[in-house]
Structure 1
């Protein structure tokens, strides 16, 4: 496998088009096309779907993982040899939005001091982030999947606790004189279509109807929407701060919670950059519940 062909594959998938990949590699689009064709001839199958944006086939995903590993190890080898100044390498990783808004933030502080690497964050639900590892899109991921992706290692970080929260006014509006909440009528929030936390809570209470549903696909805006009384939602305990203590929010059930256990999956490479990232993530993960 020719390194330049692998580098072209990574550029095409990252940039989305052959023309943009050519700009990144400082070569012509025809040269990029020739390298991809040569790679496909070597592999004996198509590796890139020619669409907008370009995407990797199953065979291309396997080669994309190899391409990213080669780029990382090549940069570290050149640095070790002292043959040129340290190359700045991109570090693509997947993090779910709630983690990025809470316990993961110290990782960004650590990364600010890394002169030899940049972060390329992919925001993806923890139940789906391992897919990005399989496709070769990322080097590492925060995921709820404990089973290591082939070629990766998995480390348990801890659990994010979610609790049912609402603004006091919203709760009072939908609570009867008997103190029973009308779950079928009270509006509910969801982060996106993949968010099952609220549905799971309602199912545990045997709520058969479908309450009004708002979609708010931002962790920060999700909290703001709960505070504003737009609807109730399963809120990360780490994100609530002092809201329950000062009365800005109330727990709809002080005995109900849902713990999402998170894992850090990363490629099993002997890489100082990847080890450094893993150390930063595990240190930040001490804020999670054990």
Structure 2
């Protein structure tokens, strides 16, 4: 039997960033918080918390926190919680480009009724967090349904290779487009392979000079300021294109990435409302299959 008082203490420590603020939040002593978590670890035979500053949940700990949040959603539907006091939580995995463009509209007023913890995960990686039970929902490019969850196809994000006019001139990309792989190339992180896919579609090797930029907004600014070429969603690049700061350097080689919304079937009514909002916003902003 799971000790939900211990799970509540674990979630409070991770959310508040320490044992003392968790104790204040739960109106118990710091010692009681520590004892509940130690008891949980002894019962499970493995740690649920990495005791650093601030403390972070282990993989098992995060799965337990996600389970607690799912139970809280179900209790809310049964009116077993006081909506004025007990807020439910939802940890969801979203890719950075969606957060920088259309997804905030989808979240909308949902934050009035629940706390949202957003985990940034590449569109190819979010599904792994879902399979491990670490998130209540995820946005990703994988349409394979997780056991116990539903999946909705949202649409397509079209990525194109953009660079500044100055960058194109400096690297002579108009005269020698076949040497694009030699030019500095922006890469979000080690999971980002869009530029590799682009170059492969142009029969070119992998980029020789990748530049890591783990910020969607920073990625756009670096491309506009001539730091490198990068694969950027059309909707995000629109202002830069209109102002002349960005140019599509491979107009015949766009890459379409499908997006899917995964959510547990037993997620509760608040998660169902979030799902409906995500689908509505996606149909407004994303390319739809024809």
TM-score, normalised to structure 2, is 0.85
1:231 is aligned to 228
Alpha-carbon shift at residue 180 of structure 1 (Å)? 3.7
Task: Tell me if structure 2 keeps the 8 A contact 1:87–1:116.
Answer: no
- Distance of aligned partners of 1:136 and 1:15 in 2 relative to their CA distance in 1, 3 Å threshold: farther
Query: What SS does the corresponding residue of 2:179 show, helix, strand or coil?
Result: coil
Where in structure 2 are the equivalents of 1:200-215 lying within 5 Å? 200-208=197-205, 210-215=207-212
Give the Cα separation in 2 of the matches to 1:103 and 1:175: 34
Task: Tell me if structure 2 keeps the 8 A contact 1:13–1:55.
Answer: yes
Give the Cα separation in 2 of the matches to 1:81 and 1:70: 11
Deviations 1:131-177 (A, max 9, x none): 33344443211112222334322111111110111112211222278
Task: Tell me if structure 2 keeps the 8 A contact 1:186–1:211.
Answer: yes
Deviations 1:162-211 (A, max 9, x none): 01111122112222785545324322111122211112222333434753
Task: Tell me if structure 2 keeps the 8 A contact 1:64–1:135.
Answer: no
Where in structure 2 are the equivalents of 1:69-218 lying within 5 Å? 69-77=70-78, 80=79, 85=84, 87-111=86-110, 114-175=111-172, 178-208=175-205, 210-218=207-215
Give the Cα separation in 1 of the matches to 2:67 and 2:242: 50
Gaps of 5+ in 2: none
Query: What SS does the corresponding residue of 1:222 show, helix, strand or coil?
Result: helix
- Distance of aligned partners of 1:254 and 1:36 in 2 relative to their CA distance in 1, 3 Å threshold: same
Deviations 1:90-137 (A, max 9, x none): 3322211100111213124333xx532232222221212223334444
Gaps of 5+ in 1: none
Deviations 1:251-270 (A, max 9, x none): 11211011111111112126
Give the Cα separation in 1 of the matches to 2:99 and 2:266: 25
Give the Cα separation in 1 of the matches to 2:104 and 2:48: 35
2:49 counterpart of 1:55: no
Task: Tell me if structure 2 keeps the 8 A contact 1:95–1:142.
Answer: yes
Query: What SS does the corresponding residue of 2:10 show, helix, strand or coil?
Result: helix
1:289 is aligned to 287
Alpha-carbon shift at residue 89 of structure 1 (Å)? 2.4
* Matched positions, count: 284
TM-score, normalised to structure 1, is 0.85
What is the root-mean-square deviation of aligned Cα atoms in Å? 2.7
2:27 counterpart of 1:3: no
Task: Tell me if structure 2 keeps the 8 A contact 1:86–1:116.
Answer: no
Task: Tell me if structure 2 keeps the 8 A contact 1:157–1:261.
Answer: yes
Give the Cα separation in 2 of the matches to 1:135 and 1:17: 25
Give the Cα separation in 2 of the matches to 1:135 and 1:161: 29
Query: What SS does the corresponding residue of 2:156 show, helix, strand or coil?
Result: strand
Task: Tell me if structure 2 keeps the 8 A contact 1:189–1:215.
Answer: yes
Alpha-carbon shift at residue 244 of structure 1 (Å)? 3.5
Mean CA deviation greater in 60-69 or 191-200: 60-69
Task: Tell me if structure 1 keeps the 8 A contact 2:73–2:269.
Answer: no
2:22 is aligned to 21
Query: What SS does the corresponding residue of 2:180 show, helix, strand or coil?
Result: coil
